[in-house]
Structure 1
Amino acid sequence: MCLAVPAKVLALLPDAMARVDAGGVIKDVSVALVEDLAPGDYVILHVGYALSRLDPEEADRTLALIAEMVTAGAAETPVVS
């Protein structure tokens, strides 16, 4: 199974790298596969590589769905005493 998540570009770094925010996780990733990025752009991130640019509204919807799944999963986790 593959998982790709939206990430916001915070800063462009040397050597085709960028610092991104993926739902609160700050990480340096390769952006060699995506041209003409700027801080504030959103990308689809998979195992340390930005694969493509993403529309900001779509990124927001996807991040909200991920947060909802995490919250729902936490609510369903049984408490063991």
Structure 2
Amino acid sequence: MTITVTATLMLMVFYFLLLYGGVAFVQDKKFFSSAPKEVYDAVPDRKERFRGAHIVGWIIIACTLLICAALAWLCTLF
């Protein structure tokens, strides 16, 4: 049961980091393509919070995916 709870918490953290990197830093309209038309129209085309925000967002996303893949690979060893 401990493994299940730990895995669930880790997946929640990874999902949060992916959303945080994509929505808060990358801010690309294609991430909102499934949203209702009103929300999609309200999203600005390009807006950087600070210089290099897109790079920080992609680094967060890449690190999250690498850690998640590494942990999935480790789970297959046991």
TM surpasses 0.5 = no
Structure having the higher Rg: 2
Larger relative contact order (CA 8 Å, sep ≥ 6): 2
Per the normalisation by structure 1, the TM-score is 0.42
Structure with greater proportional strand content: 1
